[in-house]
Structure 1
Amino acid sequence: MTQARGRDRDDAGRARSARPRDGLGRPLPYGEPGVPRQPEGIVRSPERTVTEAQALLDSGRPFHAHEVFEDAWKTGPEEERPLWRALAQLAVGLTHAARGNPTGGVRLLRRGADEIARWTGPAYGMDLPGVTGWARALADEVALDERPVDPARRAPRLR
């Protein structure tokens, strides 16, 4: 990481914060210990994507799971991008719900659920109706009770 014009940059010169982050992806002050970030741009098989994202969700790190789904969205076949984008939205929705942002959590959980419900392509072993039901139920709960949720306890079962 380098700094140019006051902004952190990655080795390719793209803006990317070098600040450490906590388990929910919130920036911490420079010099604080943080949770290791997910590397960007990793090309994974769909099955590996699901396995890695599930492990991150299970450990209470939905922000990091979102980054794994985002890699699939950005590096996978064009026709599969809606699936991976929707799963990334669900992970970010859980992140917002865990951070205590009910509005963002509800919005992203519902948006992702709607996209997955429309998906007619391959499921890669995922229980997409179950994931959709999980997202809608969590969105309804967060809308009624705005307290932060425990992301590990409320993680979806993708398979």
Structure 2
Amino acid sequence: MSTAPRGRARDRDAEGRARNARPRDGLGRPLPYGTDGVARQPEGVVRTPAETVAEAQALLDAGRPFHAHEVFEDAWKSGPEEERGLWQGLAQLAVGLTHGARGNVTGGARLLRRGAGAVTAWCGAAPGRERPYGIDVPGLDAWARSLADRLETDEGPVDAAAQAPRLGAGRAG
């Protein structure tokens, strides 16, 4: 099924891959063609782990967890295979917050718990991984589980910026 308006060819990127060109809102939801949206995260950017954490934190602080997820996705796709579980878990945390902010409280809670479990499991797989790249894994785990509990007991969406975690030392949410 085409995502483009009737009579228009399917949206494609510069390499010819199908890619929805509709503008998006701050939580990554598609908007109608011709609507002003927020700038999309470029895909396939190779960053250092420190750059990944810093850029994702800035996006989380700005209430754009969907976009932070895309930064983490770039890290898992371009980084070492042995770190894939860390970056995937962090991406799941960002998507969990995205769903919570969109009002999908059940999906948000599930993804927050899954992401917390993935990051914690990755860090527990070898000694010295408690704070990979300065990431406060115990703080993120506590933040994610607490927010998941709140999503399951409260109705309505959460404010993504107000509920953004601190990836490094300091406030966890």
Answer whether TM exceeds 0.5 for this pair.
Answer: yes
Q: Does 1:68 align with 2:68?
A: no
Amino acid at match of 1:97: G
1:113 alignment partner in structure 2: 116
The alignment's C-alpha RMSD in Å is 1.2
Q: Does 1:97 align with 2:100?
A: yes
Identity of aligned residues (%): 71
Amino acid at match of 1:151: A
SS at match of 1:90: helix
Distance 1:124 1:142 in 2: 29
1:59 alignment partner in structure 2: 62
Structure 1: runs of 5+ lacking an equivalent: none
SS at match of 2:11: strand
Amino acid at match of 2:12: R
Amino acid at match of 2:90: L
Q: Does 1:139 align with 2:148?
A: yes
Structure 2: runs of 5+ lacking an equivalent: 124-128, 169-173
SS at match of 2:166: coil
1:152 alignment partner in structure 2: 161
Instruction: Report the alpha carbon displacement of residue 6 of structure 1 after superposing the two structures with TM.
Output: 3.9
Distance 2:71 2:115 in 1: 16
1:81 alignment partner in structure 2: 84
Equivalences, count? 156
TM normalised by structure 2 equals 0.87
Distance 1:143 1:6 in 2: 42
Amino acid at match of 2:165: P
2:52 alignment partner in structure 1: 49
Q: Which runs of 4+ in 1 moved over 3 A?
A: none
| Alignment counterpart, residue 12 of structure 2, candidates 9, 13, 20 | 9
TM normalised by structure 1 equals 0.95
Amino acid at match of 1:26: R
Instruction: Report the alpha carbon displacement of residue 145 of structure 1 after superposing the two structures with TM.
Output: 0.6
Q: Deviations over 1:89-113 (max 9, x none)?
A: 0000000000000111011001001
Amino acid at match of 1:132: D
Structure with max Cα Rg: 2
Instruction: Report the alpha carbon displacement of residue 146 of structure 1 after superposing the two structures with TM.
Output: 2.5
1:130 alignment partner in structure 2: 139
Amino acid at match of 1:100: G
Amino acid at match of 2:37: G
